[in-house]
Chains A and B, each alone.
Chain A
């Protein structure tokens, strides 16, 4: 089994707010992340695809195809956006790193698993170099 990883970066803003919480509770639970004007990060996304290389190409998945999938599904949706308001898949959710990673998994899995031999194995999303989340889907 080969694990292939491609990285992309995007920049976006967000805020954490639960409308079921009181203003005090929102500030207590979410701290500075509750600022109503939002704040931003440079996110780094690493997408790992697992599979056996196709004997005729030597590839698990054509990197050009993976690049196009990431461009279309992730960067065009999320890069330079306010995630709470401009990404329909995150509407009404709290766009924590956990939630964004799970959303990215859901967007990528049907695209990647329909191509060739590869299966989406891991979505790793860095919010900062010191905070990142791995989404491993429903396997493992």
Chain B
């Protein structure tokens, strides 16, 4: 039977949506308040979905202690309480929209050794959420 396990994690970070190649007017037209010079922050909720066979000895797709340690190391240690544009190298040349954060996180989490990464979903606020499952993914 196909099993997909979802685990949710939280991090708080600031960002600014701004394309350096555009004028200030163009940036404000496209990104509105999100282009403000000093950035602003969100409480992000990250949903990590993994899939794979259930180990008969443990009843688990993956041990949550392994998944938690991996997410702590790969995501939370770098993304929590930082300014994404300046402090996460991936966003020095990539606008940290939630879409781009999803893609960066998916690529970063794909090497997880204990189960196959199925998708990542990111809630930027209670009203906006984004999901990414790799380029071959077709929306359900």
Contact = CB atoms under 8 A, between A and B. Distances in A.
Interface stretch (A53-61, A68-76, A89-97): A89-97
A135 interface: yes
Contact of B59 (A20, A31, A98, A105): A98
A36 B64 CA distance: 19
B64 A102 contact: no
B125 interface: no
A20 B4 CA distance: 26
A20 B3 CA distance: 24
A55 B6 CA distance: 36
Residues of B in contact with A, size category: 10 to 19
Interface string A81-112: 00000000000011111110110010000000
Interface string B1-40: 1111111110000000000000000000000000000000
Given A18-B57, A98-B54, A129-B8, A29 B3 contact: no
Interface of A: 16, 18, 20-21, 29-31, 93-99, 101-102, 105, 129-140
Interface string B51-81: 0001001111101110000000000000000
B36 to A, nearest CB: 31
A136 B1 contact: yes
Contacts of A134: 3-6
